[in-house]
Structure formats: structure tokens, C-alpha cells
Amino acid sequence: MNGDRRRLFTLRLALALAWLLVAPAHAQMLWSVEGPQGQQNWLLGTVHSEDPRLLEFAPEVLAALEQSSRLALELVPDMAMLEQLNQAMHYDQPRLHEVLDGELYRQLVAILEAHYGMGEPAVRRLRPWAAAMTISVPPPQTGLFMDLALAIRAGSLGLDVVALERLDEQLDFLAGMSKSMQLDLLAQAVADHDRQGELFEQLITIYLDGDLDDLEAVAEEQMADLDPALREHFEQIGMIRRNHTMVDRATDWLEAGGLMIAVGALHLPGEDGLIELLRARGFDVAPVSADYFTAP
């Protein structure tokens, strides 16, 4: 893998760590978050994808961004973070071929060589969770993903771009899985790889329709074949604990006003989703309609 493709691959994984989410961002994905003293903030559900339909931001999203002074993402990719991620993804010495069943390893190598430009020597150094995450998302083409496009636009408007999480916290969620969990995740990713395009298209279509409930239901359906312990790990550690952390870190900025939170859409719904957690903190959270900024 050459340097340019390696950087694109690393950036793609960094933006995908909220878990495999998979026209414009519609109003139901954009929410107004108003504080008790009228502090205006925004909450936007995103998809960690470079699909061009996701980069055509709706007018209400652009208007909300222009009214903000700060954009909060799950992670803000910079060179130090990408290097830390790259190191965490790999064993110090090649050993993946020793960890996996021979047939599973051959299938993995074939996928990574054919679709991701990785030779077998590079595959040997990947940790199981990193290999699973890599083949669970389409190969990067441009590196311009929805979250990154938002960050670039925010920067051009002079907004402060901040992170709601630390990379080590997201890595703990992944690397903290037991060996059996990691191997189960990788085996499922290999089995599902031929349907990858279909699964992503299904999720993106639902996202573009603006239906958070359907998005959550389909994501749960797509994870149904995973071991129950692994599903519990993703729900409790990958979603609920992270949601509480993000709200804790965003609270001071929300109380000051002018914050747009942009995180994976699956972090929004549910009793422990950001919408309900913010309401529990006393914020008025309401969906933004397409005519929100033009209605009298």
C-alpha cells in the first residue's frame, strides 16, 4: 500500500469508529438544542461516508453551521491522531496469520489485496479488530467524508473545531474486546463482505429519508448475527458509554451557546441517545424542518 492510499485508509478508519454506519442531510437528522436561557445550539446526525449524496448539505444544515461558533465532532483528525491510530492498528511483529484459522486468513488476504491494495505482508501486522473494521467499510476513494467536509466548511467560516472524544477512548472500545469477540467480529465481516455495498446503500437510503427509528432498526438487524456478548459490548461500551461521555464534554459549550454537534446518526436515538440525554440535562431538543429558517 503506497503512502497516499495508506493515509486515506487510516483517515477512513478514524472516521468509522462510531461503528459501521453506514441528496442532503434531511431535517430529521438536524435538531435544535436550546438551553434554559435561550442558548441556541444544533445537533446533526452524520454518516461516516464519502458518498457524494451526503456532501450536498441541506440549506438548513448550512444555515445552522453559519450561526454556530464551534463544531464538535467525535474526533478531529490531525497527523498526531492518525499516527497514533496507525500504530494501534498493528502488532509490533507480524502475527495475524498465527491468530486466525488458515481459511479465514486466506479469505481476508484475498479481500484486502483485491479491494484495499494491501499486500499479504501488511495484512499479517493488522490486529483482528482493525482488519474487521477495514473490510466492513467501502475502500476510500477521495478521503473527503461527511464529517471531514463539515470540518473543512466550519474552518472556512472561522469556527473552532473540537473533539468530543479522545482516540484512546475509541481504541479502548475496540482493543478492549476479548480475543474471541475480535475473531467473531472479523469472521462476520469476511462473511458479509460481498454484501457490503448493499448494506451501506440500505443505511444511506434510510438516512437520506431522515428516519432515525428505521436507521436504528436496520443497524440492529445487520448486527443480529453477531455473538450476543459482542452485541452487548457494542451497545454498552460502543454506544451508551460513549454517548454519556460526549454529552458530558459538550455541556459547557452547550451552555455557552453556538455549538453544532455532528456525530454518527446512530448516537442520536433511544433512551440513552444524545437527544434524550440532552433533554434530561434541561435542553429543549426539537427537529429542524426545511422551512425552519424562513418561517415567520
3-state secondary structure of 46: strand
Q: What rounded mean pLDDT belongs to the chain?
A: 85
pLDDT at 16 over 70: no
Q: Nearest-CA neighbor of 157 among 244, 83, 237, 260?
A: 260
Task: Look up cell 445550539; give the residue.
Answer: 41
Tell me, what's the pLDDT at 17?
A: 41
Q: 183 vs 8, which has greater pLDDT?
A: 183
Report residue 279 CA to chain centroid gap: 23
Output the CA–CA distances (angstroms, integers) from residue 227 to 62, 184, 230, 233, in the order listed.
41, 7, 5, 10
Q: In the chain, what percentage of residues exceed pLDDT 90?
A: 50
Tell me, what's the pLDDT at 294?
A: 61
Instruction: Give per-residue pLDDT as tens, 22-41.
Output: 334 444 789 999 999 999 99
Q: Nearest-CA neighbor of 28 among 60, 62, 55?
A: 60
Query: pLDDT grade, residue 95 (50/70/90)?
Result: very high
From the number of C-beta atoms within 10 Å of its C-beta (0-12, 13-18, 19+), residue 128 rates as buried
Query: pLDDT grade, residue 206 (50/70/90)?
Result: confident
pTM score, whole prediction: 0.84
Instruction: Give per-residue pLDDT as tens, 50-90.
Output: 888 888 898 999 999 999 999 999 998 777 777 888 899 99
Tell me, what's the pLDDT at 151?
A: 92
From the number of C-beta atoms within 10 Å of its C-beta (0-12, 13-18, 19+), residue 80 rates as exposed
Q: How many Cβ atoms from other residues are within 10 Å of residue 137's Cβ?
A: 21
Instruction: Give per-residue pLDDT as tens, 149-177.
Output: 999 999 999 999 999 999 888 888 888 88
- Give just the sign of the alpha carbon dihedral 130, 133, 134, 140: negative
Contact yes or no for 208/23 (Cβ under 8 A): yes
